[in-house]
Amino acid sequence: MPERLSDHEIRDITKALEAGLPIDDKYRYLIFKEARQVELVWNGKNTHVQDVVLPFQVIEHIDEPRDEVNLQQQQSLFDISGKKVQGWSNKLIWGDNKYVLSSLKSGPIRDEIEANGGIKLIYIDPPFDVGADFSTIIEIGDTEFEKSPTVLEEIAFRDTWGLGQDSFLAMIYERLLLMRDLLAEDGTIYVHCDYRMNSQIKMILNELFGLENFVSEIIWKRRAGIVNQTSTFGSCTDTILMFSKSQNYVYNRQHTKVDTEDYVKERFKYRDENGRIYLLNNLGNPADRPTLKYEYKGYKPPKNGWAVSRQRMEEMDAEGRLEFPKKPEGRIQRRQFFDEWEGMQVQNLWTDIYQINPMAKERLDYPTQKPESLLERIIRTSTNEGDLVADFFGGSGTTASVAEKLNRKWITSDIGRFSINTARKRLITVQREMKNLGKDFRSFEVLSVGSYSFNEARQQNEFNQIVLTAYKAEPINNSPFTGRKANHYVVVGPLDLPVSREYVEEMVSKAKENKLVELDVLAFEFGMGVVPDSIENAIRNGVKLNLKIIPREVFDKRAVADGAVKFSEVGFLDVKIESKKLEASVTLTDFSVFYSQDSLELDGENLQKGKSKVVLDNGIIKKISKNKEGIVKIENIATSWVDWIDYWAIDFNFEDRQELKLVKQDDGRVEQVATGRNIFDNQWQSFKTNSEKIELTSSKYQYPKPGKYMIAVKVIDVFGNDTTRVFEVNVGK
């Protein structure tokens, strides 16, 4: 016990502990050895983060951004345009960034990161709007449908904002702590926030990075127009807090011409005979250089001499860059044209970067999307070409997109499936643009974090019982399986996470050990890559595997009692494969989803008179309306199966790329170990954009030699869920 505590103080602390009462806050500075003079404190603050290292599963590899109808051999396509840069593959990661960060920090990929110079820049734009609506507007054919957040998205939101600021600060603190440890010594972090949380986040950054490593507080004027408010000043700015890991950080000065309009008008007020705007600069020689004493066209040099030689003077004269005074004793000046002027150095008030125009090509209608020009300035300031940039609240992929265009490597992650799919399409588009411009590009991988769940056993058991009741199955005790329904054995996935490929394959293995014929796996969400590998693996093991999605109605006692809870099958995909000589063609012929959102019966009862609502019932869009007399009418809205597809891709040789995971040995060495799974090698893709729908439902490929090949076809629906099938084809016979 520290000597500065008196016997009286020790007795007070002991009595409080024995009585289960809180200790007076004044003692915290006396008890703890290294009490900070200034810090932000909240309920449940924990300065230690558990380093959970989970495996990363490679779901997809994209290094050939091709959308041609007739896909030819790789060699002919890469001879005339941009080429894939070898070495590092950029990483798009799906998962909770807490576990993404801890696994990057302490897992085997850390060695790969360090071998590429470490992470030089982290930019994050965390969800600081507690009142945000996380529903998404989805276009299905000519109909707009409002997709509610998934149950897992709601859980993530609850974990972030469930206790208000306390839970948000706990969330951002542990993630910033991990980011600090992952950042290179000469790296910089930018944290984007607004008036709600900027002061609290700045105090956390001061604590974690140190006051001496505070670099700048950038004020971004994000609105150009007027914000009309009746009781306060309109909010038109965001704050971007910039901290470094050390005093030796990368900083490249940036310049702007837009932000200094009055200054520019004053300086650039001259025009030459061709109308080009210029300003005048003195040609006097700096004191640290030898003076050049010579006359030019009768004009005497200034007191300190000319700044350039006679030859250079003649060259500038020929270029029309010299301004001659009217009197011979005047001074010759050099014209600097506006289009050659780099501009004024950027200050910490950014008024020259505007919100994304509604008609802009980069606009994706993604909530919280930031303009590329904002990220371009940040990336250019704090990195050089070839450096590694990271964004762990990736959203629509703006940071990664700009990094790719500026020849930087990148890592980005997000917990939202819709976000990952949006970013994937955007980054493929960037690859295509780079390729068409003859610029080199990098491949990227889509990864997911391995199986993890940290909810309490009691909570999971209660959840299992709720799901089994709604599924009309009986629980099984002392078994690896959760329940049984007729001759089907049932497994309920974790309450708080998607069911991973590893989890499903483990259950299939146990089913085989127990000589079970049919297994139902129920989950709120299935991880990327569960299909086809898990289903194909189950078939090989003699198990019929049924993957079903748990609806939110399992928590609605009335819906359960009425038998209105529908467990949806994963998507159905039908494909036609044809081969001729060395050519194979792939054609989509049908696709179906079976999801339901909302209850027809309950929504019809709760609907106000004269109102209508669009719902999704077992993969069918329906419009419910109630007239003034209270009569409910339900009508189907016609859709085509193509309308449900947001993205589809083909791997024409699915078995040619094996998944290799990095494993750190006891002696510290990192080795690649084959997992026995195949990686989907994205060789062709077609997808929806803001301006285009799915046009191509067929593609061809020319194989280099005859033989037996496996073709994998992946479809991602408008909700972000993926369905994949694998087919065998013989070519050249």
pLDDT tens-digit map of 477-516: 888 899 999 888 999 988 777 888 788 888 888 988 888 8
Length of the chain: 733
**Closest by Cα among 534, 539, 499 to 517:** 539
- State pLDDT tens for residues 62-107: 876 544 343 343 333 333 345 566 788 999 999 889 999 999 999 8
**Closest by Cα among 623, 606, 533 to 143:** 623
CA-to-CA distance for 446 and 420, rounded, in angstroms?
Answer: 9
Q: Is the pLDDT of residue 535 over 90?
A: no
Q: Is the pLDDT of residue 142 over 80?
A: no
Half-sphere exposure of 475 (CA within 13 A, CB side): 12
CA-to-CA distance for 728 and 80, rounded, in angstroms?
Answer: 32
**Cis ω for the linkage preceding 532 (within 30 of 0):** yes
Q: Is the pLDDT of residue 149 over 70?
A: no
CB count within 10 Å of CB 313 equals 21
CB distance 405 to 385 below 8 Å: no
The type of residue at 323 is E
Please state, rounded to an integer, the average pLDDT across all residues of the chain.
Answer: 82
CB distance 60 to 447 below 8 Å: no
The type of residue at 638 is A
633 burial class (0-12, 13-18, 19+ CB within 10 angstroms)?
exposed
pLDDT confidence of residue 253: 95
pLDDT confidence of residue 130: 53
Q: Is the pLDDT of residue 727 over 90?
A: no
CA-to-CA distance for 644 and 539, rounded, in angstroms?
Answer: 28
**Chain centroid to CA 709:** 34
Taking residues 662-666, report their average pLDDT: 72
- Give the list of residues 6+ apart from residue 14 with CB closer than 8 angstroms, or none: none
**Closest by Cα among 531, 522, 433, 419 to 472:** 522
The more confident residue out of 588 and 27 is 588
- State pLDDT tens for residues 234-286: 888 899 999 999 999 999 999 987 766 677 777 788 888 888 888 888 888 77
**R_g of the chain, CA atoms, integer Å:** 31
CA-to-CA distance for 409 and 664, rounded, in angstroms?
Answer: 24
